[in-house]
Amino acid sequence: MKSNKPTLGRLLRGLRQRNDWTLKEMSQRTGIPLSTLAKVEHDRLTLTYDKLQQLSERLKMRMSELFAEPGEGPEPAVTARRSIGRIDRAVRVNTRNYDYYYLCAELRRKRMIPVLTKIRAKSVSEFGELVHHSGEEYIYVIEGRVEIHTEFYDPITLEAGESIYIGSNMGHAYVAAEGCTEATVIGICSSADDGLMQSLMSLHADEPVAVTVDDTEAAKSERPPTRLKRPKVRTTATRS
């Protein structure tokens, strides 16, 4: 029976296959003869330390990475970041159709943007063009009824307690459903794009917006400050 214990041959073969290289391509990349690599992969030959070092340098990998099996890796770094999402500390953006409350704004470079939204638009014509942005989003209806319009699906109405998950690069719009004056939803937008929040706020570039920022000093830091000041600075800007 073959042992499950990793061997140099098994590790090198796995590395080559993960990168979709042929033996010839790996030989060209490492400067080690094809016949030598073939014997190593079949555990009929091993490599000296000098050859392993050459392999590491040519492939721009640390020696430890050469001996790591797939799935192995360093423990994820513990960032210990924390933020309490309070409305009075949110970045508030007021538009004709919505009031947005961007929560936990003092944490920069977030991969998720939590947003509490009050929806007043009552039709797609009132809303305007469907919006697109990178990533995905999840919307949960807290109060009222919301009509969801998307680029590739028929409209659907969600009641309080219901939710939807969509790809955000698909055109979409949320409006208050018939008979509902205003609806409140909580949304989570996620993207690998570090500038997601700026991207979301730029969606209002074609209309005047009023922005209220609480705890502006806190927003400059990765960590919530121990002593919070709560000035309210209200500015109105027209984006072009």
* DSSP H helical ranges for the chain: 8-18, 23-30, 34-41, 49-58, 63-66, 124-127, 196-201
Structural contact between residues 190 and 167, judged by C-beta atoms closer than 8 angstroms: no
Query: Using CA atoms in the order 20, 25, 29, 32, what is the torsion angle rounded to 10 degrees?
Result: 120
- List all residues 6 or more positions away from 9 whose beta carbon is below 8 Å from its beta carbon: 40, 41, 42, 43
For position 222, what pLDDT does the model report? 39
Residue 64, number of CB atoms within 10 A of its CB? 10
Q: Does domain 87-237 bear CATH number 2.60.120.10?
A: yes
User: Rounded distance, CA 112 to CA 135, Å?
Assistant: 10
Structural contact between residues 206 and 239, judged by C-beta atoms closer than 8 angstroms: yes
Q: What is the mean pLDDT of residues 90-107?
A: 86
Comparing 72-86, 114-128, 182-196, 209-223, the range with the smallest average pLDDT is 209-223
Domain 8-66 class in CATH: mainly alpha
Q: What is the mean pLDDT of residues 50-74?
A: 74
| CATH topology match: 8-66 vs 87-237 | no
Residue ranges per structural domain of the chain: 8-66, 87-237
Confidence category of residue 235, pLDDT binned at 50, 70, 90: very low
Per-residue pLDDT at 150 exceeds 90: yes
Structural contact between residues 146 and 184, judged by C-beta atoms closer than 8 angstroms: no
168-192 pLDDT per residue, tens: 999 999 999 999 999 999 999 988 7
Closest residue by Cα to residue 67 from 137, 31, 126, 15:
15
Indicate the pairing of strand 146-150 with strand 98-102: unpaired
Beta strands in 86-193 (DSSP E): 91-94, 98-102, 112-119, 136-143, 146-150, 156-158, 163-167, 172-176, 183-190
- The terminus-to-terminus CA distance of the chain in angstroms comes to 70
Count, residues in the chain: 240
Comparing 92-96, 142-146, 178-182, 196-200, the range with the smallest average pLDDT is 196-200
Higher pLDDT, 71 or 46: 46
